Structure 1
Amino acid sequence: MSTEIVFEAQKLRVSAPQSDGSELEIVKGVDFQVPKGKVVALIGESGSGKTTISLSSLGYCKPGLKFSGGQARLLGDDLCQKSTSELRPLRGRKVAYLAQSAAATFNPSIKINEQVVEASVTRNLMSRKEADARALELYKSLDLPNPETIGDRYPHQVSGGQLQRLMAAMALCGKPDLLVLDEPTTALDVTTQIEVLKAFKKVIHEEGAAAIYVSHDLAVVAQIADYIVVLYGGEVMERGPAEAIINNPKHSYTRRLMAAANPWNADAAAEDTQRANEKKEDVATMLDVSAGYGKTWNGKPAVNVLDNINFTVPKRSTVGVIGESGSGKSTLARVYAGLLPPSEGSLLLNGREIEPSYRRRSIDQLRRVQFVYQMADTALNPRQRVGDIIGRPLEFYLGLKGKKKRSRVNELLQLVDLTPEFASRYPDALSGGQKQRVNLARSLAADPEIILCDEVTSALDTIVGGNVIALLKRLQREIGVSIVFISHDLSTVASLASDVVVMNKGQIVENGPTRQILKRPQHPYTKLLISSVPEMRLGWLEETVSARLKQAAPHVPEG
């Protein structure tokens, strides 16, 4: 008996019409099938066509693109030939889409359950009573806490991992035949990622739905996919069962992706650690610092986030700060940058105390401490050219104007491996990796002593993220800037930092040389983080979940 094919791409082509009448081909004759009850992963770096191809299963093209050939068949119907009005009843009922950012998907002013059941009720797929019962069933299947009441909360009242699972409940509520998951765990920390992957895998199996899973991370894909399609430049490089692709990749590009997904090497950190152990002066210090948000009647924070933090960054070194979402990593950086004054404690720069708020710091103190934001898309002004974005700190901090400023802008672009021609471009004409390089060049324009990098590679694919890490290493060697690298990705920190600080619930639970922390972690929380980094092999997720269940089970003495 043949397996039902839920979705099939046949010689699918997508192109972008150009102003001269020609067409730039984005997707170039792609073929693959998604059988019922199976997960097919589309994997590749940014620009490989993953999301564009996955959106074809909804009959959708991004603005400026069009279907130019082939077929995208959902349950036998070619979606490329259907009008918007014909596609509308299929979306949400036959095929549902899970975006990368759950926070952007939910309306912050409407309770969660109202949004989860809305599409099913308004499209008359079921009554409100049936939809509520279906939602409760999904909350339980997705292992959400307090399933009977979690729908009564607003989106900001649940964690990122919980919101990601609630988005899955929203997509599954109408019982679609096909689920499209577009990078659904990219922005999650490693421990939360395990819970979300486990929940997704469980519910897809229980529902018997087919799924397209879009990702750049082969280690994650290995835990959930039945089949893998490797893409590059809009073409299929390799496809086959997950076991064959993971254990015996044929194409050189697949092997390159696998190498980029395996930066974890505790021994490789030894040389950097030895250099870090040399006696150095400290450029940045936090002494007995506590901080939080909001204020009570006595001036203390209403919500305390950092608790008695002591932290130092030696000159010409990189210190990695790791921990789950909500551990206080970003708050630590915001406090030192002066964006959030501490409620207690002192901040030192080169051994001298500095003002807690950026508003009271001197221009020179502001120049020496620079912040590199996570999302270059929102950090760069879309209405300014790259040359103006980088030129602003040159003028503000260093007083450069005219020819000298333009010359320095070109030097900074070359420093981050971009050509001077980029100065005339706007941010929307750049790729994600190029935007992050401009974001970094702007911070370096101030000639800082320390840069605070907050999750600067979390939104990038493994190859582009690896290139940014290599760039940071080179910049440190060449210009001697100190780096605080904040991340939930222990693998990335391991490849860059000479020292690691582990944070949990606003406290530093362990710190030391990178190799020491990775090879001989002492704190149970550090051990949990290390064990949560996905391995490039099938069955790792099930083994990890099983091992944790055994550890959590109460010991019953014999006899």
Structure 2
Amino acid sequence: MGNLVEIRDLKVEATTDTGRRVEIIKGVSLDVAEGEIVALIGESGSGKTTIALTLMGYARPGCRISGGSVLVAGNDLVTLTEKQRAKVRGTEVTYVPQSAAAAFNPAATIMDQVIEVTRIHGLMAAAEARARAVELFRALSLPEPETIGSRYPHQVSGGQLQRLSAAMALISDPKLVIFDEPTTALDVTTQIEVLRAFKSVMKKGGIAGVYVSHDLAVVAQIADHIVVLKGGEVQEVGTTEEILSSAKHPYTRELLSAFEPKPREAADAAERAPAPLLKIENLVAGYGASKTDGLPLVRAVEDVSLKVEKGRNLGIIGESGCGKSTLARAIAGILPAAVGKIVFDGKELGRSARERTRDQLREMQIVFQYADTALNPAKSVEDILDRPLVFYHGMNARARSLRIDELLDMVRLPRNLRHRRPGELSGGQKQRVNFARALAADPKLILCDEITSALDTVVAAAVIELLKELQRELGLSYIFISHDLSLVEAICDEIVVMYGGKKVEDITPAKINAPHHPYSQLLFSSVPKLDPSWLDGLEQDPELVRAYCRR
């Protein structure tokens, strides 16, 4: 079996705002054999996606391929003209993006978009393309393969849309498919279905793949070889089995150790206060109000009760759309609950943030999933941290400046970052600023809504260790909203499982390996392991999968 892809001494340069050129890919070489799937792994900024895009002869705006060769099926994409590269893209080499939702046109039917490449390149007649698309829908385990193409993107689930983007990439019978973190935004039960579908179609068609990811457990299920990257350089190359069982490079070992965060030491029972810090009773929340009874037309949270003790952490898990984030927003008063009681530190809170005192707002803070949208891009870090110090504490300029230094120290950020804007920070740094802003209020409880889902494994592990340390120092309590079960297990004293807007089970650490509810069992069994044989050997009750998976 020969090599389909041969990258030799690849160099990519980026141009800074000041016009200075910086080498971001530094002499990378790698091979992909015919029919083989090679994973590119590493932290954010390691060069994974940049290298993958060169396989289409493409460099992002502000970047250029400055050296080396990228051979795909004998053609050097670096030396081809742009017209010649355009013939390769979508035919010989195709691409599956991280966010399928952003890749589809909401105004066109799925079928028209899936077969568009065959029309652009004149690959086959329209009727033949439609028949081929239906075959792919069936092979990718999509429901109603004969009719799903007539729908629009908003009429299918996230997992279905991700598989439809794979159908779009596969319809031209390519030699190589690039998968750019295609399951990152999916919950674990959906991820299993998507991975199985990808793996089956690729192996059956003998198609080579480059799989970009920072999730080693996902990579373990689909890749034959792994290339470990950091700072635009290759750190280690090996078969999946070799990398997982006997990694040699210290950075690879760091990635492996970050996969399972260390469990938190639970608070001593004697140290806990008898009254819970937060108690929720029979909460109902949703969207759109009925004109008859005032209750939500769409009930995203239905009759949920829970409690959080002082100094302890509660995890809330479940699939996308189960009501986790709506529950967090209702607790914070951002989305007023329609029914129910919220008691915080012994006092009943108003359902809306407007009905709460400034101190009640200060003592309960929320940190959102995407720091990019939570932080004002036009403001400096200093300005962002300044605001809560004025609003909650009325500090003067000198006191605020000193406190900002303390906050940056707390979240392990250099003090000289205070004059930078969010766009000049990495993902991990932005999320730390997000936390510093919450800490500026001196809260008792922080609601963490999917705070690590946009971060790579190493950075996410570092953020979790930071939160544990802050908890020990400041006596904080956390509520973690997540679909990352390993994260929740590592930091939470109790876990609430939600499905369809309802709480279906409470799980303590003692019961973590033996959940009772069928959905909890399905959820926990769907978490990938660092074992290449795990997916192929996974056996789940098909009745449970049909009942609980929105495939």
Do they superpose with TM above 0.5?
A: yes
* Residue pairs, 1:226-265, within 5 angstroms: 226-263=224-261
Of 279, 285, 289, which residue of structure 1 is paired with 2:279? Answer: 285
Partner of residue 297, structure 1: 291
Which amino acid in structure 1 is aligned with residue 193 of structure 2? Answer: E
Find the aligned partners of 1:19 and 1:161 in 2 and give their Cα distance.
38
Which amino acid in structure 2 is aligned with residue 523 of structure 1? Answer: H
Of 29, 32, 37, which residue of structure 2 is paired with 1:31? Answer: 29
CA RMSD of superposed structures (Å): 2.1
Which amino acid in structure 2 is aligned with residue 287 of structure 1? Answer: E
Change (3 A) 1:387 1:50: same
Change (3 A) 1:443 1:337: same
* Residue pairs, 1:478-497, within 5 angstroms: 478-497=473-492
Offset at residue 19 of structure 1 (A): 7.0
The farther-off stretch of 384-393 and 455-464 is 384-393
* Residues 276, 317 of structure 1: 8 Å contact kept: no
Deviations 1:89-136 (CA, angstroms, capped at 9, x unpaired):
221112111111122222233332222222322332223222221221
Of 462, 469, 484, which residue of structure 1 is paired with 2:464? Answer: 469
Offset at residue 296 of structure 1 (A): 3.0
Partner of residue 315, structure 1: 310
Of 442, 449, 453, which residue of structure 1 is paired with 2:444? Answer: 449
Find the aligned partners of 1:119 and 1:361 in 2 and give their Cα distance.
55
DSSP-derived class of the 1:511 partner? strand
Find the aligned partners of 1:253 and 1:539 in 2 and give their Cα distance.
24
Which amino acid in structure 1 is aligned with residue 520 of structure 2? Answer: T
DSSP-derived class of the 1:175 partner? coil
Offset at residue 552 of structure 1 (A): 7.8
Find the aligned partners of 1:550 and 1:365 in 2 and give their Cα distance.
46
Find the aligned partners of 1:124 and 1:401 in 2 and give their Cα distance.
68
Offset at residue 509 of structure 1 (A): 1.5
The farther-off stretch of 376-385 and 219-228 is 376-385
Offset at residue 9 of structure 1 (A): 0.8
Of 525, 528, 532, which residue of structure 1 is paired with 2:526? Answer: 532
Which amino acid in structure 1 is aligned with residue 194 of structure 2? Answer: V
Partner of residue 220, structure 1: 218
Of 420, 423, 427, which residue of structure 2 is paired with 1:432? Answer: 427
Which consecutive unaligned segments of at least 5 residues does structure 2 have? Answer: 547-551
* Residues 365, 446 of structure 2: 8 Å contact kept: yes
DSSP-derived class of the 1:89 partner? helix
* Residue pairs, 1:43-122, within 5 angstroms: 43-122=41-120
Which amino acid in structure 2 is aligned with residue 244 of structure 1? Answer: E
Deviations 1:134-171 (CA, angstroms, capped at 9, x unpaired):
22111111101122222222222222211111111122
Partner of residue 387, structure 2: 392
Which consecutive unaligned segments of at least 5 residues does structure 1 have? Answer: 554-559
Partner of residue 557, structure 1: none
Change (3 A) 1:300 1:113: farther
DSSP-derived class of the 2:162 partner? helix
* Residues 273, 310 of structure 2: 8 Å contact kept: no
DSSP-derived class of the 1:370 partner? strand
Change (3 A) 1:20 1:484: closer
Deviations 1:156-210 (CA, angstroms, capped at 9, x unpaired):
2222211111111122222222111111111211111111110110111122211
DSSP-derived class of the 1:45 partner? coil
* Residue pairs, 1:131-530, within 5 angstroms: 131-263=129-261, 268=263, 271-272=265-266, 274-275=268-269, 278-298=272-292, 299-513=294-508, 515-530=509-524
* Residues 485, 524 of structure 2: 8 Å contact kept: yes
Find the aligned partners of 2:416 and 2:93 in 1 and give their Cα distance.
43
Offset at residue 279 of structure 1 (A): 4.3
* Residues 47, 230 of structure 2: 8 Å contact kept: yes
Deviations 1:374-418 (CA, angstroms, capped at 9, x unpaired):
011121121111111121222222222422222222211111100
Find the aligned partners of 2:271 and 2:97 in 1 and give their Cα distance.
44
Which amino acid in structure 2 is aligned with residue 455 of structure 1? Answer: E
Give % identity. 51
Deviations 1:323-346 (CA, angstroms, capped at 9, x unpaired):
111221111101111122222212
Change (3 A) 1:278 1:180: same
* Residues 316, 495 of structure 2: 8 Å contact kept: yes
DSSP-derived class of the 1:519 partner? coil
DSSP-derived class of the 2:105 partner? coil
* Residues 123, 172 of structure 2: 8 Å contact kept: yes
Change (3 A) 1:352 1:202: same
Give the structure-2-normalised TM-score: 0.94
Find the aligned partners of 1:337 and 1:76 in 2 and give their Cα distance.
58
The farther-off stretch of 3-12 and 118-127 is 118-127
DSSP-derived class of the 2:472 partner? helix
Offset at residue 15 of structure 1 (A): 2.0
Partner of residue 556, structure 1: none
* Residues 41, 212 of structure 1: 8 Å contact kept: yes
Find the aligned partners of 2:211 and 2:545 in 1 and give their Cα distance.
30
Change (3 A) 1:19 1:476: closer
Give the structure-1-normalised TM-score: 0.93
Offset at residue 22 of structure 1 (A): 5.7
Find the aligned partners of 1:84 and 1:315 in 2 and give their Cα distance.
62
Offset at residue 423 of structure 1 (A): 0.8
DSSP-derived class of the 1:58 partner? coil
DSSP-derived class of the 2:35 partner? coil
* Residues 52, 210 of structure 2: 8 Å contact kept: yes
Change (3 A) 1:208 1:273: farther
The farther-off stretch of 464-473 and 279-288 is 279-288
* Residues 217, 462 of structure 1: 8 Å contact kept: yes
Change (3 A) 1:279 1:469: same
Offset at residue 280 of structure 1 (A): 4.0
Which amino acid in structure 2 is aligned with residue 419 of structure 1? Answer: P
Which amino acid in structure 1 is aligned with residue 444 of structure 2? Answer: E
Change (3 A) 1:275 1:47: farther
Find the aligned partners of 1:434 and 1:528 in 2 and give their Cα distance.
35
Change (3 A) 1:506 1:410: same
Offset at residue 57 of structure 1 (A): 0.5
Change (3 A) 1:276 1:336: farther
